[in-house]
Amino acid sequence: MTNNHLPQLLDRYPILKPCADHLTAALGILIAAYKAGNKLLVCGNGGSAADSEHIVAELMKGFFKRRPIPAEHATQLEQAGQADGKAVAGRLQGSLAAVSLVSHVSLITAIGNDTGFDMIFAQQVYGLGRPGDVLLGISTSGNSRDVVNAVVVARAFGLRTIILTGGAGGALAPMADVAIKVPADSVAEIQELHLPVYHWLSTELEETFFAE
């Protein structure tokens, strides 16, 4: 398992040194899931909802690398679309399957209206999650009820769970397979530290699955 950029992360953010083992454990879960052909589901509220979408954007397309698609995929595209397929193949990028559960506005509002807003992520995990997938829940307090309910569903149906939270950990930390508790207490400071954490995870995953 690659961990090539962890020393750089900890040099830049020495406050994250107590999280090193949990960072490594979270990366291991993600690498294992992607090697097995599984996907990542991500959820959070407010600023953490924005972080959820940000993470998915880093994984579903190139982050630092161009990520050309495999030659056999390019051939399939050219066979399917001739000149158009060849043009598309030249612009597609390798992808790590990830879904932001905060992005489905019609679905979220329907769930919230019909069964309660604390169920908006749990319902999606139940519908989309498969054994071996990973749920990444982001909650600065560690107590977000909609994220708690999602983790309950994930655990029941064979998903691995990672929580990104603050120093207190809240109710979510002991529920998760791995809890990355950044050492901060205020919402703003916690969110400031979440960004380098998921950028590091994205970098390591890209290094692992998309060699030059």
The predicted-structure confidence for 137-169, as pLDDT tens digits, reads as follows: 999 999 999 999 999 999 999 999 999 999 999
- What the block records as the tokens of 177 is 């397979």
Which band of pLDDT confidence, cut at 50, 70 and 90, is reported for residue 50?
Answer: very high
The predicted-structure confidence for 5-41, as pLDDT tens digits, reads as follows: 999 999 999 999 999 999 999 999 999 999 999 999 9
Q: Identify the CA nearest to 32 among candidates 148, 169, 177, 196.
A: 177
Identify the H or E element spanning 6. helix 6-12
Tell me the DSSP string of 100-139: ETT--HHHHHHHHHHT-GGGHHHHHHHHH--TT-EEEEE-
Which band of pLDDT confidence, cut at 50, 70 and 90, is reported for residue 59?
Answer: very high
Amino acid at 43: C
In terms of Cβ atoms closer than 10 Å to its own Cβ (0-12, 13-18, 19+), residue 196 is: middle
Contact 142, 166 (CB under 8 A): yes
Contact 42, 194 (CB under 8 A): no
Mean pLDDT of 62-73: 93
Order of strands, edge to edge, in the sheet holding 98-100? 98-100, 40-44, 134-138, 160-165, 178-181
Q: Domains of the chain by range and CATH?
A: 6-67+94-209 (3.40.50.10490)
The predicted-structure confidence for 75-113, as pLDDT tens digits, reads as follows: 999 999 999 999 999 999 999 999 999 999 999 999 999
Instruction: Determine the 3-state secondary structure of 99 from DSSP.
Output: strand
pLDDT at 4: 81
The pTM of this model reads 0.95
Mean pLDDT of 67-71: 93
Separation between Cα atoms, residue 184 and residue 164, nearest integer Å = 12
Provide, rounded to the nearest whole percent, the portion of the chain with pLDDT above 90: 96
pLDDT at 98: 98
